[in-house]
Amino acid sequence: MSFTNQIQAVAYCRTPYKQKFGIPRQPGLVSAARGFVELAAPFNQVDAVRGLEQYSHVWLLFCFHENLAQGWKTTVRPPRLGGNEKLGVFATRSTFRPNGIGQSVVKLHAVHTDNGKVRLEISGMDLLDGTPIVDIKPYIPFSDAIDDAHGGIAQEAPELASVTFCETAQQQLEQYQQNPAYSRLAELIEGVLAQDPRPAYKKAKEDPKLYQVALYDLDILWKMLPQGIEVLEIIPSQVGMANTSDTP
């Protein structure tokens, strides 16, 4: 028996995450991450989302579009295991999957229908800006939440690192936050960096490297210290400059 089928994007996700590095490894870990799901033609019709506003959360089925060219792998090295132990791809949420499909549950804040466009305002996403969405489904608490479920290697939430801002970064942060569009910038930066987005093999030894994470149209420069993560600078991003219309 064989089966093939072609799918197309029903929407695209607009998020603060302009590069893969720094994106939370699971949804719901950074509630300050706000964005939109913008429906694409011919699906951008009010009738297609009629009644969706009654749900607090939705499932997004999406495509790992930037990984498709690299193909899939039978085994992967989960960060939870320090990158040193292999598990089967179907025992993980690896991005290198046979059909490149992922799923995330996100909080739904509002359904906007204006100027011929349909947009879902969401938060808590773990998706790269521009991610193609192949389906949208309501989250049903009585069936989707299983109280006694076992999470295997991911039973517990990840331990968070402390995040501080040096004097220069604090001053830059205060300047940016005068703009209402950046009102939750501190919370977003802290939420993203507290997950410690570094490769797993970096976490067991001293790491003097300077890191950069692109959020909205800003580059967040930071490093790991013995006591936690310190933000050094917040500057205009070269990543974000590619499409300035994506500024929050």
Per-residue 3-state assignment (H helix, E strand, C coil) for 154-203: HCCCCCCCCEEECHHHHHHHHHHCCCHHHCCHHHHHHHHHHCCCCCHHHC
Decide the pairing of beta strands 34-39 and 11-14.
antiparallel
Return the pLDDT at 85.
87
pTM to 2 decimals? 0.89
Distance of alpha carbon 127 from alpha carbon 124, whole angstroms: 9
Closest Cα partner for 7 from 56, 30, 44, 40? 40
Return the pLDDT at 248.
41
Return the pLDDT at 80.
78
Could you give the strand order of the β-sheet that contains 210-215, starting from the edge strand earlier in sequence? 163-165, 228-236, 218-225, 210-215
3-state secondary structure of 135: strand
Distance of alpha carbon 138 from alpha carbon 117, whole angstroms: 20
Closest Cα partner for 216 from 67, 19, 62? 19
Show the low-confidence residues of the chain (pLDDT under 70). Answer: 239-248
Q: Residue 113 carries which side chain, given as an amino acid letter?
A: T
